[in-house]
Amino acid sequence: MKVYQTKEIRNIALIGSSKSGKTTLTECMLFEGGIINRRGSVDDKNTVSDNKKIELERQNSIYSSVLYTEYKNKKINIIDTPGFDDFIGEVVSSLRVTDTAVMVINSQNGVEVGTEITWRHAKINKIPVIFAANHLEHENSNFDETISQLKQNFGGGVTVFQYPVNSGLGFDSFIDLVQMKMYKYPEDGGKPEILDIPDDQKEKAEELQSTMIEDLAANDEELMELFFENGTLKEAEIQQGLKIGINTRGIFPVLCINAKHNMGVGRLLEFIGNNAPAPDEVPAIKTTEGKELTFKADDPASAFIFKTSIEPHLGEVSFFKVYSGEITESLDMINPNTSTKERISQIFAFSGKNREKIEKIVAGDIGATIKLKNTHTNNTLNATSISDQIIEPIVFPDPKFRIAMKAKNSTDDEKLGLVLNELKKMDPTIHSGFSRELKQLIVEGNGELHLNIAKWHLETLENVPVEFITPKIPYRETITKVSQSSYQHKKQSGGAGQFGEIYIVIDPYEEGMDAPKNFSLKQTVRKTSVQPLNIVKNPSELKVNVRGVNEIDLEWGGKLMFYNCIVGGAIETRYLPAVLKGVMERMEEGPLTGSYARDIRVCVYDGKMHPVDSNEISFKLAGKHAFSLAFKEAAPKILEPVYDLEVIVPEDKMGGVMTDLQGRRAIIMGMEGGTIKARIPLAEISRYSTALSSLTSGRATYSIKFAEYAPAPNDIQEKLLKEYEEAQKEDE
């Protein structure tokens, strides 16, 4: 393969809903470019793109597949992306390194949820979109309704550039409004006849072309003036308007294809080569320091790793896009993310499971290399002269589904952790880690299907049998009122004794509170000790004098404010760190349910020492028990994690989704178009993806993001307290 220059390169991502025909279209694109000499099919499990074992089993794309074709002196890099929302991370990374998205539409279904989801990500990336109306040969296809839905959902920029003459059974022809010709294909597809427009189609074609030209002119002042002056645009002016409109996202052309029978694909490739932007014609990517990279071949080399894959007989393969300069074999580069040196041993142009070795790759092109030591997805590779330059990383979507995972054989525990770490290299949207708080291995992803695929990978490819367990909820404990307590720890066992006595008052903490000065105490002091206290200090009004403060930002959220309010040297200052340590131990295992405690102020205002028996362990235990007693008298409350939920749902399914959400204790925050916004407790989100799919026949999707901790309802709190008490009894 020749070395293509930046102007000769087009980078496209095929996006859209599942079953829209992206993988079949990819086969046709490779066939038209002569990369393969026979088209495979999803049904026959022999496509170039879907070649992983799990993809062949499911007959669906799971991973994005990097491919290329050559057409009329252009190299068109293609990334075929999955259509399921569970694998949206593959779409996000693909859109980051491509310059145009080809949105494949199933003309039987029109705009689907997957169409809306991928459109949103294309919009976020400000990437041009070309619509390819597919499945026009099916009896249920409805091109006019599809166009209506596209305009309704994505605006007036959606413009017909081709329309079918005979959509439905027997489809074989469409009118091209740029060339004003009819493309007619043989029954099994292939090379078309390019004919004059039939008389019965001329009026419709002229009307649609006039609309197309007006839409093109609207994207450029000069063209608009020419349009008003002449009433139309010349061929060269149409071409100019096309380039401007597509690149500025002012025009979203709609073209016609029948990927199953290879109809319209050659013309689509030609359209992409002529009108889609080259890499140096799109907005420049930026480094983390704000520098713009503009695909200049004579600049020092810089590349960005957007995908990592494990391939048979090759091992780890790193896919990259060159943002400046040229990369050649044996080039030494620096990874500024890891501060390591890497050598590019070999360069490949991949086409799914096929690959071709190349010696050089230039700015704007996409390639792959192997055997990088410490470079993974979202890393930058630079020439040694610009070693510190880091390209802005891909921002992957937050996980929305979590499960606890456990190896069926305890001997596989270590291997399970290692394999999950390796899996994250290939799929950065999978998060895993052992929760010390929950005492579970928590795995997070984009949906139940997503994590089921991860489970399949572990068991089938890595021979690590695992089981899913319902994950525990990371509750928090806090208090809602002031409470006072004291505790005396006293122990005598023949040798050196132990003695420590403290008095504390606790109250709820809120950000920005002034230091405590006095407390109104209405409840009776709780006292517990090895031996009864002789003096009961129980004032109704307690004044304190703060002599020192420890402000602790808790790693699980919230704060602990620990005040030294000791007067008269009742306790030596050297024992207060031990008291704080005892309090922290109880904060890490809250008195109510063992959950982390947060947002509390603790004032140590009095106590006693023994000249011989007092030591740090005595005061740590005194602090731990005094805090526990005070906590239980301070109107304690369990807090539950609450998430912002956004559901994209067809309007005809909205009622059922709303009813379901209300049954999940969700608070509806608003509705706009086909989007429901709500706040929902994490405890109610478990397997929501499955329920939502069932309610909407797979037509809806959702995203979640942590919002806050909020008080759990009383019935939930009582249930949690009872469960904790029973668990404690079982452990005794």
> pLDDT tens, 525-579?
444 444 333 334 455 788 889 999 999 999 999 999 999 999 888 999 999 999 9
Residue partners of 465: CB distance under 8 A and separation at least 6: 407, 408, 409, 412, 458, 459
Is the model's pLDDT at 69 over the cut of 80?
yes
Evaluate whether 66 touches 81 at the Cβ level (below 8 Å). no
> pLDDT tens, 222-250?
888 888 888 888 888 888 999 999 999 99
Closest by CA to 283, choosing from 389, 179, 128, is 128
Evaluate whether 24 touches 260 at the Cβ level (below 8 Å). yes
Evaluate whether 571 touches 502 at the Cβ level (below 8 Å). yes
Identify the DSSP state of 51. Answer: -
Alpha-helix residue ranges (DSSP H) falling in 606-679: 616-632, 654-663
Cα separation, 247 vs 79, in Å, equals 19
Residue 73: per-residue pLDDT: 94
Average pLDDT over residues 83-108: 94
Q: Which two tokens stand for residue 552?
A: 């602790």
Phi, psi of 427 (to 5 degrees): -135, 90
Cα separation, 464 vs 457, in Å, equals 9
Put the strands of the sheet holding 498-508 in their side by side order.
526-529, 483-491, 498-508, 600-608, 559-564, 548-553
Evaluate whether 648 touches 701 at the Cβ level (below 8 Å). yes
Which residues sit opposite 711 in a β-bridge? 639
Global confidence as pTM? 0.85
Cα separation, 397 vs 705, in Å, equals 10
Helix (H, G, I), strand (E, B) or coil at 358: strand
| Residue written as token pair 């007959």 | 59
Average pLDDT over residues 110-115: 88
What are the CA-CA distances from residue 352 to residues 81, 311, 368 (Å)? 12, 10, 12
Phi, psi of 426 (to 5 degrees): -80, -30
Evaluate whether 620 touches 580 at the Cβ level (below 8 Å). no
Residue 233: per-residue pLDDT: 86
> pLDDT tens, 633-692?
999 999 999 999 999 888 888 999 999 999 999 999 999 878 999 999 999 998 888 899
Cα separation, 202 vs 175, in Å, equals 10
Identify the DSSP state of 458. Answer: I
Evaluate whether 294 touches 273 at the Cβ level (below 8 Å). no
Burial of 660 from C-beta contacts in 10 A (0-12 / 13-18 / 19+): middle
Residue 386: per-residue pLDDT: 86
> pLDDT tens, 430-440?
999 999 889 99
What stretch of H or E contains 56?
A: helix 53-58
**What domains are defined for the chain?**
6-204+250-281 (3.40.50.300), 289-386 (2.40.30.10), 401-472 (3.30.70.870), 477-635 (3.30.230.10), 638-716 (3.30.70.240)
Identify the DSSP state of 684. Answer: G
* For the chain, counts of helices (H) and of strands (E): 16, 41
